[in-house]
Amino acid sequence: MIDDFIEKLRIEKGGVLLLSENSLTLLMAIKKIDKSLSFDVSVDEVFNILISKIIEKLGDTGTLLIQTFTWDFCNKKKFDILNSKSKTSFLGNIAIKRDDFIRTKHPIYSFAVTGRYKEELANLNNIGAFDISSPFQFIFKKKAKMLIIDIPLQKSFTFAHHVEEMKKVNYRYNKKFTSRYIDDKGHESIKTYEMYVRDLDNNVVAYFEPLENIFLENGVMEQYNIDTLVIRKVDLFKAYGVIEHDIEYNNAKSLYKIC
């Protein structure tokens, strides 16, 4: 049953939870585990059930964030907060259609949010994707957990860029992006936002693979399996400290490399 699957995710009642998932393997695992979900049930229905069950598990005082990242704004394409699809999460695209979710404002790194801190997150007006006014700082302060379903940190752990910006690493810099922006009232305007980007001229690439072992060794991350899915659960408050230490004492070698 899907309820058994939810139990195995070890969700803490009343917590702040950031969710990132491999949509395809997650769907396959759910349908394998819960035989009551026939193959006639649509993908949208399955994921809507999953989202509702996670919200129920978090309870009235919990908060759920699902990534809805898209990079169209970087390419001078318009961002429509109600309709621009996430490039990183099928669950995110389900969430932004639901009445119980609101999308945060940044046109590149946004989140679909619901629960206790929904309004506070939706009211953030951060210009920088990862800056001190961003949802990343908010969930750090709230000691959020990140639940990563069947994706390695290398492809999911965007939170590290927030720490990089807070520590002003020298292999990234703030870059401005300007394009059309349609808000939740349908008003269109030209807006400029920023992102702390890699220094491409110096061939900088994100490299988070070393964090896997570092997080496990320092009690920052739990890792276990549900059937064929690899589940990673990261304490973002603890992760911040470990990443900060790596930047200060290891020249950020666990975060980037030159190719």
pLDDT value of position 225: 96
Give domain limits for the chain. 2-253
Cα three-residue angle 151-172-160, rounded to 5 degrees: 30
Record the pTM.
0.96
Residues listed for the chain? 259
How large is the average pLDDT for residues 143-164? Answer: 98
In this predicted model, what pLDDT tens digit does every residue of 2-42 receive, in sequence order?
Answer: 888 999 999 999 999 999 999 999 988 887 776 666 556 68
Query: Which amino acid appears at position 78 of this protein?
Result: K
Q: What angle do CA 85, 34, 228 make, to 5 degrees?
A: 75
3-state secondary structure of 186: coil
Express each pLDDT in 55-83 by its tens digit: 999 999 999 999 999 999 999 999 999 99
Coil, helix or strand for 77?
A: coil
Distance CA 140, CA 16 (A): 10
